[in-house]
Amino acid sequence: MPAHYARVMERLTENLPPADARDLAWRQQRNRLRSALWAFNAVPWVQELTLDRLEWDVLWRITFGGMSAEMRHRLDHPQDGFAWRGRRMEYAVAEAIRDCIPSGTAAISPQPAPERIPPDHEERCRREKSTPDGWKRADIGLAFITGATFTVDVRTTNTHCTSARKAATADAHLRSEEKAKSAKYADYYRNFLPFVIDLGGAVSDISYDALKKITKEAAKAAGPRLHWEKFDWAAQVQRRIAVAMVRTTAWLATRAPARARPSDDLAADSANAPVAAGGRSGG
């Protein structure tokens, strides 16, 4: 079967222009990343794992191609920047962890205070154009009843955008984003874990290992547990995060901004409204 699939893939690239061949090769290796296709396992009976038809269509386009120029522009140049997308996924990651690990094993809080201050803190603040007392905190803090603490910072990225394709592979792009997060926050927290996810739900092994570290500590706190349970929790968390990411991406890619209309236009619409048979204007 592997030899058969290899021959099928070779036929797909026959007679393709160089640009299309490169795009296909990029998508192939991106789709091999961890959880790149997990959102397709959405089910209708669990709200956190459900995709509607529009979200499914956007996921298909991200995975296999067909994203329109307008959709790409909305994803790469949103009107309000990437703040809403980031906040939405910070909440989704925290809720997925809270729902999938045993209850009572950890306290989860947003934007934990730094646990230590490095000697070059003021220089870092100058580079970041921030005041020393206004250093941005990481996104999620987890304090386990075992005494262990973890701090997670979430980053979303489009592995199909032009800047991402400057990297050798999609995995290399994700890892570069993880290194940037670690360089920014690792000296401020004892156990810092970067978590970078692409718009279709794919993550690198480093980000997935972050979830496994969290669920391993949850298993220790909730013990005794079967040896495989902690890994099942990590998979459940990642499935929920992947679906939440696709939902967020679909909203951004397909939303139609409301058009503000002057009051005189509204008055004209009311005056021109059709009159019903009973003599009252239609509502």
Question: For residues 30 and 158, what is the distance between their CA atoms, to the nearest angstrom?
Answer: 11
* Rounded average pLDDT over 211-222: 97
Domain membership flag for residue 266: no
Q: Are 156 and 86 in contact (CB under 8 A)?
A: yes
Residue 22, in any domain of the structure: no
How do beta strands 192-198 and 149-157 pair? parallel
Confidence category of residue 131, pLDDT binned at 50, 70, 90: confident
265 is a domain residue: no
Residue 120 CA to residue 111 CA, distance in Å, equals 21
Do 242 and 207 form a contact (C-beta atoms < 8 A)? no
The model's pTM is 0.85
Rounded to whole angstroms, the Cα distance separating 257 from 238 reads 31
Report if residue 141 sits inside a domain.
Answer: yes
Determine, yes or no, domain membership for 162: yes
How many structural domains does the chain have? Answer: 1
pLDDT at 106: 97
The pLDDT-based confidence of 129 (bands split at 50, 70, 90) is: confident
- The phi and psi torsions of 149 (rounded to 5 degrees) equal -130, 145
Average pLDDT over every residue of 100-117: 94
Residue 138: which residues within 8 A CB-CB, separation 6 or more? 111, 112, 151, 152, 153, 185, 188, 189, 192
- Asked whether residue 96 is assigned to any structural domain, the reply reads yes
The average confidence (pLDDT) of the chain is: 88
At 60, list the tokens: 């298909």
Residues spanned by the domain of 183: 31-254
Tell me the pairing of strands 140-144 and 106-110: antiparallel
Is a pLDDT exceeding 60 seen at residue 190?
A: yes
Residue 68 lies in a domain: yes
Asked, for residue 16, whether it belongs to a domain, the answer is no
